């Protein structure tokens, strides 16, 4: 059994925020693979289904981002799911919009949701880092991630979410290179002066 965790903040106010791209990806996986409807459980919303012949749970913590670890810990403990069988989907400032990377273990890089999961589960879980770009200065980060995606982001965002849902079985099987390659082939994010340098091999697996 695998546990997929989408990170975000609950409520309509935050639904289209950049910080909620993890929720968006989780919802697309649930829709694409015909999971059960979400039900309230483990301080979150939980859906169940099958991907690649294996049972998969999708969890969206309803605790707000900085307490996400509580919901993850409750679900993992109840179902006896080891950290290495958990994949967390979250926003990543240090990747250009439409890019992604996978990561297994390592630090939380200051992400509040990951920080909370680290505190409850350790660092051994997998991460799917979904690029949202950086506002250019650290003082603008909070407003940026808690703002809605721009209308112009709609095309690359839809492509990314579709590609993640279509190919998530590879990530769950630990075939990170296959997963990122297939997603990269499906997604053609817009280029700009700000993202030109980072658009390239950013869909590779992290080694740190």
Q: Where are the domains of the chain?
A: 2-186
For 2-186, which CATH superfamily applies? Peptidyl-tRNA hydrolase (3.40.50.1470)
For the chain, first and last CA: distance in Å? 26
Dump strand ranges (E) for the chain. Answer: 2-6, 39-41, 44-51, 54-61, 86-92, 100-104, 126-131
pTM of this structure: 0.88
19 is annotated as an active-site residue? yes
Catalytic residue among 19, 33, 90, 134: 19
From residue 171, how far is each of 88, 104, 112, 126, 143 by CA, in Å? Answer: 11, 11, 23, 9, 31
pLDDT band at 70 (very low <50, low <70, confident <90, very high): very high
Q: Per-residue pLDDT tens for 72-101?
A: 999 999 999 999 999 999 999 999 999 999
- Provide the 8-state DSSP code for 186: H
């Amino acid at each position: 059994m695998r546990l997929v965790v989408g990170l975000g903040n609950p409520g309509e106010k935050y639904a289209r925020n950049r910080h909620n791209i993890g929720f968006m990806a989780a919802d697309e996986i649930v829709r694409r693979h015909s999971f059960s409807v979400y039900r309230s459980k483990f301080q979150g919303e939980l859906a169940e289904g099958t991907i690649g012949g294996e049972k998969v749970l999708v969890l969206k913590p309803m605790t707000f981002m900085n307490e996400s670890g509580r919901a993850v810990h409750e679900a993992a403990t109840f179902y006896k799911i080891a950290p290495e069988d958990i994949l967390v989907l979250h926003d990543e400032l240090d990747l250009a919009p439409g890019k992604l990377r996978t990561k297994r273990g390592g630090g939380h890089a200051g992400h509040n949701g990951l920080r909370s999961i680290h505190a409850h589960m350790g660092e051994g879980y997998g991460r799917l880092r979904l690029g949202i770009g950086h506002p250019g200065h650290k003082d603008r980060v909070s407003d940026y991630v808690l703002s809605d995606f721009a209308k112009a982001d709609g095309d690359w965002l839809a492509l990314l979410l579709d590609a993640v849902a279509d190919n998530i079985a590879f990530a769950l099987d630990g075939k990170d290179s296959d997963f990122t390659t297939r997603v990269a082939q499906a997604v053609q994010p817009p280029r700009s002066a700000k993202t030109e340098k980072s658009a390239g091999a950013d869909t590779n697996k992290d080694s740190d």
